[in-house]
Amino acid sequence: MTMSEALTGDAAAVPSAGTSTMTMIQALRSALDVMLARDPDVVVFGEDVGYFGGVFRVTDGLQAKYGTSRVFDAPINEGGIVGVAVGMGAYGLRPVAEIQFADYFYPASDQIVSEAARLRYRSVGDFTAPVTLRMPCGGGIYGGQTHSQSPEALFTHVCGLRTVMPCNPYDAKGLLIASIECNDPVIFLEPKRLYNGPFDGHHDRPVVPWSQHPLAAVPDGHYVVPLESARVFREGRDVTILTYGTMVFVSEAAASETGIDAEIIDLRSLWPLDLDAIVRSVKKTRRCVVVHEATRTSGFGAELTALIQEHCFYHLEAPIERVTGWDTPYPHAQEWDYFPGPARVGRALRRAMED
């Protein structure tokens, strides 16, 4: 079954009244616009976020609309950005702070791990950190080693953090609104390669522009996609693919090219995880392939593999396959070999079906 045929539940298949066709950039901007208008405690800030509108133009026009006290620029100091956001959250605001690239979060690690993630526990619930940290992530734009990393596993390891990664405009807006309204700190990862349309994993080849994609039909107003909820992106009966972000579309291309009836689960919320959706699918198909762009060793796929082994062992008819990035620093010159592409995912699908 194709993705379009499988979509049910929280996404409209076609635009309707009160709905606009959006890119992921426009959907994220719409989410921020809705929340700035709806809640006076929401503030948006980061490097180049205000006057310039963000390096990827996500916040374009918001400062002009809401003023410099609600949407403003920050110094090039990630530790300071997150530290200020945690203080704002503790005193009742709901800050949305942008780390310009996920690669830049490392100087803010202490503030994220020791302050934001632990504030609720350390204060026995007297204080919370309702902070949303937006971070463009992943490769595909020739950004090299310091603009292309996928560090999601580092965040899922930290107790007290929520980690989210949408793959389409509809989910991007709904998940961002849900993140801003959440009382826990949320790491909101945005695959840069999907900002203006999905790619199938072949060299710069688009699947379809967002203007023609069913998940680009985005409600104009307020709505949420619940955190901790996965989506059955493509229904199938032969094998389950667990993935997220850009790799959702790579996996879809691999399934189509191999002719294998794969069920694709888009995790959306990496942690906490929708384990019920995963277990339900793997028990149905009895085979599983895990796909992510980040490096293999200690990547998030290892946790997924362990959970499947714990919860689905007696249902499995083949070993769990993992398809990931290489265990190397990000190789700018070999970027498209580093990515799991449809060919690599396809080989994993065939191995899973052989046993």
* Catalytic sites, residue numbers: 147
The token pair that represents 122 in the structure block: 């350390």
Q: Is 279 left (phi over 0), alpha (psi -120 to 50) or beta?
A: alpha
What is the distance of C-alpha 259 from the center of its chain?
27
Kindly report the number of other CB atoms within 10 A of residue 288's CB atom.
27
Contacts of 90 (CB under 8 A, 6+ apart): 119, 127, 128, 129
The token pair that represents 318 in the structure block: 């083949």
Nearest alpha-carbon partner for 288 in 264, 310, 270, 252: 264
The 10 Å CB-count burial string (b at 16+, else e) for 45-66 is bbbbbbeebbbbebbeebbeeb
The token pair that represents 178 in the structure block: 């849900």
* 257 within 8 A of 269, measured Cβ to Cβ: no
3-state SS assignment for residue 310:
helix
